[in-house]
Structure formats: C-alpha cells, structure tokens
Amino acid sequence: MAPRIGAGRTNSVLNFRPHNELNDKDINLIEESEVLLRLRNENDIKLALDYFKSISNSSSFNHTPLTYGVMIEKLGHKGEMDAVQYLLQQMKLEGISCSEDLFISVIKSYSQIGAAEQALKTFYRIREFGCVPTVRIYNHILDALLSENRFHMINPIYGNMKKDGLEPNVYTYNILLKALCKNNSLSGARRLLEEMSNKGCEPDSVSYTTIVSFLCRCGKVEEARDLVVKFIPSVPVYNALISGYCREGNINEAFELLDEMSERRITPNVITYTLILNCLSDSGNIELSLAILAKMIVQGCNPNTHTFTSLIKGLSLKGRLVEALDVLNKMFDAGILPNEVTYNTLIHGLCLAENMNDALSILNKMEVNGCLPNITTYSTLIDGFAKTGDLVGASEIWNKMVSLGCRPNVVAYTCMIDALCRNSMFNQAYNLIETMVTNKCPPNTVTFNVFIKSLCAKGRVDWAMELLFYEMEKHGCTPDVTTYNELLDGLFKANNDRRAFELFSDMEQKGIKFNLVTYNTIIHGLCSCGKLDDLMKLLGKMIIEGIKPDAFTFNMLIHAYSKHGMVEFATQLLEKMSKDGNFEEDRVSGWRVTPDAFIE
C-alpha cells in the first residue's frame, strides 16, 4: 500500500526555507495567480504537493494565505490531515494568519472522515493561528459534532460561544434543534424554540421541519399538526406531517393534507407523492397507488426510483408479479435506473411466490446493469430456495455470495441453516452455528427457532429441547413465545404430554406472554388428553387476556366435547353463541367464535 502523504514524518513531507533565508531579489518571481491556477487545476494530489514544495524550497516565490489555503483544502479533501496540520504549523511559524474560511475548510475535512474530535482539538487552537472564532466557525464545529452524535460535547461548545459574546443565528439554532431531536429530548427542543422566539430569531423552514419530523416520529402527529397551524408551512414540513400520518396508516389525513397544499397553492414534490403511494402500497390498495402515480405525472412531477420501488413492492405483496416486472421495464424505458432496494423488493416478491427462476433472472439483470447485489439480495434468494426445499439452489447462492466477498450476516446464516434443516441435514446446520460463532456473527433467537422447528417436525424433540436448555443459554439467546410454541407442538405430536405441560408451566413462571398459537396448541393437547375442566379454565384465561379464539379453537372445542359424549353441552354452547350474537360465520370452517361467548 502506498504510504500516506505526510504520515508522521513532517520533515519528509515539506521542507520550507524561512523568509529570512530568501533574498529580496528572488521574492515574487512567480505570480501568485499562476501558483493558484496550477494548484487548483492539478488533480493529482502528489503532483500538486510536489509543486507546492518545489516553489517553496526555491527562491522564486513566498507562499501566501491563498496558496496555503488551496493546498490545505486539497489535502483535506483527500483526508491527508497530517499534512494539513503540518501546513497549519508552517503558517504559524511564518506568521501567516489563517482565515475564517480556511479553518472552516479544515473542520469540514475532519468531519468528512469522521474525526470530529480532532476537529474540536484544532478549533481550540484557533487563536494560535491568528484567527478569532466567529459564529460561522462555531456553527461548523457544532455541525461536525452533531454528525457523529457527540451530544455531550455540543452544549459546552454552545456555552463557549455565548461566553465569547457571539449571538447564535438561525443556523446555530437549527443544529441545536437537530441535536436535541436526535437525542430524543422533546422538552429541550420546545425550550429552544422558545429561546429563539425570545431572542428575536425567527425559526425558518428547516427549524419547523426538524421539530415537526421529530414530533411525528414520537407519535405526536396531532401536536405537530397543531404546531403547523401557527406558521405558513413549506413542502418539507407538509412532507414530514404526511410521513407521520402514513406511518400511522392514517391515509385519509394524508390526503387531506394533500388537498390543503393545493388550496394554499403549495406544489407537492416527488417526496410528497411517493410517501402517499408507499402507504397505499403497504396497505394493498394498488388501484389507488396507480391513481396517485397518474396524478403526479399529470401535475408534471416525475416519479423517481423510490416511487417505482414503492409500486413494485405493493404489486409484489399482492402477488401481481407480472405487473411488477412490467413496472421495472417501464423504469428502464423512462431512463430511471433501479437501485438495490428496487431489485431486492422484486426478488422478495418472486421468492414469496416460489418463482425462483424469475428471481434468478432479476439477479442477473441486476448484475448486468451494474447494481451490485448486497447481503439482503443473497439472503432473500437463499430463503426462497430454502422454502422450496432446494438445497442445491441455496448452496449455489451461498457459495456465490462468499466468493464475491460478501460477508454473511446472521440473517444469511439463518436462511442457510433453514435450508439445511428442511433437508434433514441437522449436523451440518449445527456446524454452521459453530461457524457463526467462530466468525464473530453469533446466532440469535430466530436462528434457534428455525432449527427447533425443523427438529420438532422430524420428531427430533429431544435434540430440540437440548437446544432450548443448553445451546440457547450458551450463546446468550433468550427463548421467545415462538421457541416454546414449536416445542409444545413437537412434544404433543410425540405424545409427551407430561413434558409439554411442564414446559407450559415454565412459560408461565418466566412470564412469557402467550399468543393465539400457544393457546391453540395447549387447547389441542388438553382436548387430546380429555382434560375438559382445565380446557375451560385455559379458555377463560385466553379471553381475559384479550386473545380472540379463531375457527381452529372452536373446531377443537366442538370436537373435544362431542368425542367425550358431551354433544348436548356442545349444542348448548353453539345455541348460546348464536343467540348472543357472538357466533359468526367463517369462510374457512363455516363458523368462528367471538370473545364474549365465554364470558358470563
């Protein structure tokens, strides 16, 4: 690897002759404008630096604040901060003052490489270089700290700014607002808005967009709506509000805001329409999504990659894959290039439909068009092949992923473990879990749930129980309700009712919240054992916890009472449900029960 420019050996990077070693007759033989032109036009940082050094070491030119500034900016843009620091020190030795713009350039360079702390250290030395801190410089150092979420450093810097007698401007307040919002301090953000008002610094569109977005993310959409009434909102503010309502699934309010924008003659942009279209796609309202797409085109607002991706997602989720593929082709026709999210969305839909050939075709198209597949792409394909039982297909994608240098994450490993388990290759699946640990990508609860489910399905319940009580704890994974549900089902199917009820008690003791699957599994076990008294107790507990029995629950109850000669009781229950209006027709089983049927 080529050595970094200026890394540690300052005397080998630049070797200047001080002013007092130059003869007067040699000074300014080269015009400053010529030096600036050559430095600015030289794209090769090494050649630019060589030229900078050569004229400095000759007697033909004395570097000026401008030439130093251009060279420092070029080095900073390349992240050569050691060399930047050396040049700053050289300016100090030569008595050349640093300008405000130069220090801002250095701060921005540090920020670009994620070194806000180094930027702060340089900021604290600003007066050594003959530069006095200004509001602009303070704003840039605050912004650098914000970009790395150094919240604990921001307030002291703001305090220093006030001590220096500098009044914050709207840009300062906007940085502080973003910091407070990112730090989830709603009360602090409110106080800052009041301070702005008291100081006569009117919040701008950025201020309002920041606070409105934050309120919406906190679920306080109505409060954000009330705030918007107090000022004339901009498009970004409306977008933040629409995003908040869409996040809550309140599409009607989003449409009302769209109408309000029209009334106020505020033109929605592509983000506005895409937010609404995406919400509609998520809810499966494809026809209205297409109507929104048509409306934005009529309004002269061109859809972008995100717009089409949202539409492809909606079509894919509804199984309308031919139309989704057609949208992809229309993107190409319109000169809009899909990104990895677009391709991954379509591949996901095709995998859900078990259409693996078309999914592979999309992968090929993705690669041909220069869009590199990522870990999500490969995980989705492996999962698709796993669910179709195609271990060869899953293995080929896995091998391709690894050969291309894409490091598998816990999702990819879990999908591959699923593929192995579905083909009863449990030893290989276990070995892959050990590989995860070796590669510092430890398994999670979902990984073990996948393993346990397959073991139970194949009658290997003892091994599944070993995973629960030993392996999961060993790897720091906490069993969840899905873990227990799979094991309960496996134990009942293996006719190990005693162990199943012990596991059920273990769930209760550990405070694991039951879901419908848990109750139905236990009800099925109780029905099989003929424990009708316990059955009714469990059913009461189920209703009290607000979990509605489904058709499967009801069918088990009728079957259990009928099997044990209690047909009259089953009939009475049926009549009571029908009479009380708590018994409704179900398209699958014919009937379904509602909660009130079990409450006297």
Cα–Cα distance, 126 to 98 (Å, whole number) = 9
Residues 68-91, mean pLDDT to the nearest whole number = 90
Residues 156-167, mean pLDDT to the nearest whole number = 91
Cα–Cα distance, 475 to 261 (Å, whole number) = 54
- 597 pLDDT higher than 50: no
Residues 501-530, mean pLDDT to the nearest whole number = 88
Query: What secondary structure does DSSP assign to 329-365, as a single string?
Result: HHHHHTTPPP-HHHHHHHHHHHHHTT-HHHHHHHHHH
Cα–Cα distance, 290 to 373 (Å, whole number) = 28
Cα–Cα distance, 379 to 348 (Å, whole number) = 10
Q: By C-alpha distance, which of 511, 420, 408 is closest to 458?
A: 420
At residue 532 the predicted structure's pLDDT band, cuts being 50, 70 and 90, is: confident
Q: Taking the domains of the chain in order of start, what are their residue ranges?
A: 1-96, 284-373
Q: How confident is the model over 272-324, as pLDDT tens digits? A: 999 999 999 999 899 999 999 999 999 999 999 999 999 999 999 898 999 99
Q: Which residue has the higher pLDDT, 562 or 127?
A: 127
pLDDT at 600: 34
Q: How confident is the model over 11-41, as pLDDT tens digits? A: 334 444 443 343 444 445 788 888 889 889 8
Token representation of residue 585:
């027709």
Cα–Cα distance, 321 to 349 (Å, whole number) = 7
Per residue, what are the HEC states of 161-183?
HHHCCCCCCHHHHHHHHHHHHHC
Let me know: does 550 contact 588? Beta carbons within 8 Å. no
Q: Residue 197 carries which side chain, given as an amino acid letter?
A: S
Cα–Cα distance, 521 to 514 (Å, whole number) = 11
Number of neighbouring beta carbons within 10 Å of residue 184: 11
What one-character DSSP code corresponds to residue 115?
A: -
- 583 pLDDT higher than 60: no
Percent of residues in the chain assigned helix, strand, coil, to nearest 5: 70, 0, 30
Q: How confident is the model over 420-478, as pLDDT tens digits? A: 999 999 999 999 999 999 999 999 999 999 999 999 999 999 999 999 989 999 999 99
pLDDT at 19: 39
Cα–Cα distance, 397 to 416 (Å, whole number) = 10
pLDDT at 526: 85
- 5 pLDDT higher than 50: no
Q: How confident is the model over 266-284, as pLDDT tens digits? A: 999 999 999 999 999 999 8
Q: Is the pTM of this model over 0.85?
A: no
pLDDT at 30: 81
At residue 576 the predicted structure's pLDDT band, cuts being 50, 70 and 90, is: low
CA 401-405-407 angle, 5° bins: 70
Instruction: Label residues 515-524 b or e (16+ Cβ within 10 Å = b).
Output: eebbbbbbbb
Let me know: does 393 contact 385? Beta carbons within 8 Å. yes
Q: What is the mean pLDDT of the chain?
A: 86
pLDDT at 15: 44
